Amino acid sequence: MTDQPRPAAVERPGQPLWGDPASELLRAERDRAERRLNAENSQLDGLRRLVGNRGGGLCYHIDSPASSVKFAVSFLGLFTVEGSFTGLSGSIQLHDKNGQQSSVTATVPVATVTSGVALRDRHLRSRDYLDVERFPAASFESTAVEWQRDGFLVHGRLTVRGEQRAVVVHMAYPELSEAGDAAAAPLDLHGHVSVNRRQFGVLGTGDSRRRFDPRDVTIGNMVDITVRVRARPIR
């Protein structure tokens, strides 16, 4: 008995022979979104269990050498200048049910600013910008912490150059260790917030808010701030 040839595939009107590429892309994107959602839910559930197992609250201190504050700002509308601060310190308290009891406090010495260019760094420390002699530190104090599906929303007051403004920092949930006592392990957190430098008196023209200076308009107003925190439990 001889093998009979298979009939050729027939493409139906409106139905591609090898499937719809757009549908395949949508399916792949849907699968990625579902995996991301499952991972976020797992992190949230794990953190809630961790905090709940410790009487509903955990306290941490910020490990300064393992933490950082980075910033990025537009220059001439064509380039991005990046820099960082070191010496971040503070504390974190997490409560699983009461966002008012959860808290974050942090301070960073602004004289540690570095952008990779020594002359620019000296100018940033001067009275034209951060005025580190009169205002040696920037600080953040939370007023409420919301537990969202994809991370914390940390509402608080940011103080820079003596000016205080309300901001909201979005912080992703940390990945918890599966081995050992998770409550004794450090938490690695990262967050971001965008602020308008002019609202904090960082004008590039010192204390004069009226005098025009070309240096002021060459730098973008919005500054993107990224925080990476290694938080260690307080025993």
Q: Is residue 214 predicted with pLDDT exceeding 50?
A: yes
Summarize the confidence of residues 156-171 as an average pLDDT: 96
Residue 14 lies in a domain: no
Q: Which of 113, 103, 165, 168 is nearest to 136 (CA)?
A: 113
Residue 208 lies in a domain: yes
Q: Could you give the CA distance from residue 84 to residue 71 in angstroms, rounded to a whole number?
A: 6
Domain that holds residue 140: 26-233
Query: What is the predicted pLDDT for the residue at 135?
Result: 97
Residue 2 lies in a domain: no
Q: pLDDT digits over 46-105, tens only?
A: 566 666 555 557 889 999 999 999 999 998 777 899 999 999 999 998 876 555 678 999
Residue 115 lies in a domain: yes
What total of structural domains would you count in the chain?
1
Q: pLDDT digits over 168-190, tens only?
A: 999 988 776 554 566 678 889 99
pTM of the model: 0.73
Is the separation of the CB atoms in 215 and 124 below 8 Å?
no
Instruction: Report which residue type is found at 57.
Output: G
The CATH number assigned to the domain holding 115 equals: 2.40.128.110
Which of 146 and 7 is assigned the larger pLDDT? 146
Residue 11 lies in a domain: no
Q: Could you give the CA distance from residue 79 to residue 83 in angstroms, rounded to a whole number?
A: 13
Query: What is the predicted pLDDT for the residue at 99?
Result: 58
Q: Could you give the CA distance from residue 7 to residue 29 in angstroms, rounded to a whole number?
A: 34
Residue 99 lies in a domain: yes
Label residue 231 by pLDDT band (50, 70, 90): very high
For the chain, percent of residues with pLDDT exceeding 90: 47
Q: Is residue 213 predicted with pLDDT exceeding 90?
A: no
Average pLDDT, the chain: 80
Residue 54 lies in a domain: yes
Query: What is the predicted pLDDT for the residue at 94?
Result: 84
Residue 12 lies in a domain: no
